[in-house]
Copies of this chain bind each other. A is one copy, B any other.
Amino acid sequence: MFRVDGYKSKNVSIKGLKMDFKKINLDTEHTNTNYPPSKNKKVSVDYSKLREWDFKLLSYFKPFYAPLCNLCCLCTYGKCDLSKNKKGGCGINLEKQQARIVLLACCIGASTHAAHARHIVDHILEENPNLKIDYGNAINIVAPLSTTITGITPKTADDLDKILVYVEREITNLLAATHTGQEGSYLDFESKALHAGMIDNLALEIAELAQINYYNLHKGEPNTPLIDIGLGVIDDQKPIILCIGHNIAPGVEIIDYIDDMDLSEDIEVCGLCCTAIDISRYSKESKIVGPISRQLMFIKSGIPDIVVLDEQCIRADILELCAEQNIPIIATSDKCSLGLIEMTSKDENIIIHELLSNKHKGALIKDMAKVGKVAVGLALLLKKNQKPKQEHRNIDISELINGCTECEWCNRVCPAMLPIKEAFVLGKNGDLSGFSALYGMCVGCGKCMGECERELPIIDIIRIASKDKIASERFKIRAGRGPIQDIEIRKVGAPIVLGDIPGVIVLAGCSNYHNGENEIALITEEFLKRGYIVVAAGCVAMDIGLYMDKDGKTLYEKFSGDFDKGGLLNVGPCVANAHAIGSAIKIANIFAKIPLENNFTNVADYILNRVGACVIAWGAMSQKAVAIATGANRWGIPAVVGPHSSKYRRLYLGESELREITDKRTNEKVKCEPAPLHLIYCAESMNECMAMVAKSCIRPNDTPKGRLIKLTHYVDIYKKYYGCLPDDLHLYIRNEREIPYEDKKEILKFLKEKEWNPRNAPNEPSIL
């Protein structure tokens, strides 16, 4: 909703102008005539060709399995014990089972994004079927993933629908392969997982195309507004509507209704998880509480007056949690209905009345406009009636702390292995620093409380002990900008070739960190300072907003939002990861003139060998995250994940030795550095992550100058975080010109030990 109450200039006078972008066709001139108009035919993609690519890829990057569970309980032959790679009743062994479970996870992840996209696209088809799909004049390559995968560049909602129909067909087919007695090869399971990942990425793009156009969100502006983020920014004197999830639809209607009613001064709308990022793309007045890790704590604080859920990343116990705090819930999605009575067809006032009367813990309302009205009306009334706030918002915690028996089970089940018991021990002596130290380290899962024999509300104790910390939690995050402009890609051509920009780092994934949320900010800062471009989306974009450097500035305030040297881009919510992958595709198209239509293999081969991009998913938790990363892998983009992600149970590892690839110009096999070394790798520590990411930006086609600079960073980072030279440095130096100046002497000695010899770089490196 765009609104101008009054404006007057020399030639124009406006009064009370309201524009609802959802209803308007911005028929901007289409300049992207490169792509053929979409036909009415079904989308069809040759899986056989993709499978061939997968097998190529997997011949360099071999699946590595670390079972999280040795059993299979999916059919009634079981439970089967597959440990030591034994076979189960259906003939599957532990190795294949791992690959199968990864495929299942990728299918679940892809389905989630696809269902999300489906919701928005169906909504558009109903409300504004003629909506034109584009990103304005600065962006010709509107849908790099769709174009490359399907040959279709969507221009209408119908096109989006058509691609989604393909996505849904593929997911169904892939899921079928996880059925007992279907696929019998880990390699084919992996090919399917890669396919599911790519399909996931495609769904991301469709979701973004749909919501950015329908809700008129930022279409690639680098300098989007800075938005408030942090528990400290929420004004609890106002009625507070908290939106949780990933789907912008209800949030938009709430904001529009508040606007319509002129209530923006009177109501606080805030968000948790990707929905927060999304509504901040729609209205710069909305506030962000934080990532998923803040959900449990914020609900238990009793601060929100009403909680509106859409879908994804919602705690499964949200209804019980909110009921404890007398917070009514409005569920809005088929995917998260919580057993609530559906009230979609009821009158708003009746719904408000029923929810006020406490007869129901919440309502399911699938009409988004109605959600807006009910949420706002209810919030105002609840605040007016001053619903009884829960006592323990400012509970006396010392007594609770003294109740701890020090059984240590909290520590034992804590995913982050935090010293909770130790905080209690300190706390008994009146020292709360142990608890406040946990704030920002805790991932907010609440397992400690479930295990506590005294049922102590540990999360509340942490919150209350961290009061000051929370009050000062007032940070800034740049609103999600959406896609990268074509012109930006063009501009970074030279600096990337010359190494001035040593790489593009994509931050993705959730907030399940093993060592606190600060590490990802430190990683980001390290690479930004070195001139890498960092593109963030989703929870991690929020997490890095929760960090201040020595000057008291967040990284968003310190680094620009341009896709350029040292730029830090918040592209948007999780689904905006499509833009990050899209930027790599655009590089292939804009620099190398590689045509995109139906050209997945060549584009991915180009990215793998020539685009120095690397994903970091330091806190990846969900099936969506594994789908996104696996998709990125198929596009040729390596990923580094955090220690917890070893529980995804599969990595793709290359070998640390010269590898044979093809020089496409001469069509000869050539020996070449292993770059990227791995396709997906799990680092043990921040130190390892730093070095691995620096190394993962190296590519076979680096110019000597570019390689020199990349290696300078690699060596510098390695020395900083390992205290020595990397053991594999000799593999990446092709000739003396590429040896970093600073440590040249030491390196020359090292090269001699390794019996290093110079070699030529391939002209056109390829694994095809």
A311, closest chain B residue (CB): B182
Q: How far is the CB of A257 from chain B (nearest CB, A)?
A: 23
* Interface check A108, CB cutoff 8 A: yes
> Is A86 engaged at the interface, CB distance under 8 Å to the other chain?
yes
A185, CB-defined interface residue at 8 Å: yes
Whether the Cβ atoms of A76 and B512 lie closer than 8 Å is: yes
Distance (Å) between the CB of A447 and the closest chain B CB? Answer: 5
A76, B316: Cβ atoms under 8 Å? no
- The interface residues of chain B lying within 8 Å CB-to-CB of A168 are 165, 168-169, 171-172
Once the chains bind, are B644 and A172 in contact (CB under 8 Å)? no
CB of A20 within 8 A of chain B?
Answer: no
In the bound complex, what is the Cα–Cα distance between A348 and B559 (angstroms)? Answer: 62
Query: Are B188 and A339 in contact, with the CB atoms below 8 A?
Result: yes
Closest to A189 in B: B339
Q: With contacts A48-B342, A183-B316 known, what are 8 further pairs, Cβ within 8 A?
A: A48-B344, A48-B366, A68-B73, A69-B73, A79-B647, A92-B316, A177-B336, A179-B623
Q: Which of A118, A182, A366 has the most CB of B within 10 A?
A: A182
> Which residues of chain A from 85 to 136 have a CB within 8 Å of any chain B CB?
86-93, 96, 105, 107-109, 111-112, 114-116, 118
CB < 8 Å neighbour of A621 from B75, B118, B622? B75
Q: Is A447 a contact of B415 with CB atoms below 8 Å?
A: no
Q: A318 — nearest CB in chain B belongs to which residue?
A: B184
Of B48, B77, B445, B648, which one neighbours A77 at CB under 8 angstroms?
A: B445
Question: Interface size for chain A: under 10, 10 to 19, 20 to 34, or 35 or more residues?
Answer: 35 or more
C-alpha gap A67/B167 in the complex (Å) = 33
Q: List 9 A-B contacts (CB under 8 A).
A: A76-B645, A80-B447, A87-B446, A111-B179, A165-B169, A172-B172, A179-B312, A183-B338, A187-B339
- Determine which residue in A115, A312, A446 has the highest number of CB atoms from chain B within 10 A of its CB, and name it: A115
A450 within 8 A of B: yes
* Pick from B90, B111, B185, B296: contact of A172, CB under 8 Å: B111
A115 in complex: contacting residue of B114, B173, B450, CB < 8 Å: B173
Contact (Cβ within 8 A) B114 A335: no
- The docked-state distance in angstroms from the alpha carbon of A48 to that of B91 is 41
A176 on the B face (CB < 8 A): yes
In this assembly, does A315 line the interface, its C-beta being within 8 Å of a C-beta of chain B? yes
Interface string of A35-53 (1 = CB under 8 A from B): 0000000000001100110
Which A545-560 residues sit within 8 Å CB-CB of chain B?
none
Total copies of the chain: 2
Task: Please determine whether A176 and B51 come into contact, CB atoms closer than 8 angstroms.
Answer: no
Indicate with 1 or 0, residue by residue over A590-631, a CB within 8 angstroms of chain B CB atoms.
000000000000000000000000000000111110000000
Say whether A391 faces chain B, with CB atoms less than 8 Å apart: no
A87 and B173: CB pair below 8 A?
no
Among the listed B167, B177, B451, which residue makes an inter-chain contact with A335, where contact means beta carbons less than 8 Å apart?
A: B177
Please give me the residue from chain B that is nearest to A58 by CB atom. B339
> In the bound complex, what is the Cα–Cα distance between A34 and B335 (angstroms)?
36
Pick the 9 closest A-B CB pairs, nearest first: A185-B339, A89-B445, A91-B315, A91-B317, A115-B176, A92-B316, A111-B175, A91-B316, A184-B316
Across the interface, which residues of B come within 8 angstroms of A297, CB to CB?
none
Give the residues in chain B near A512, CB-CB below 8 Å.
76-77
Partner of A114, one of B176, B180, B415: B176
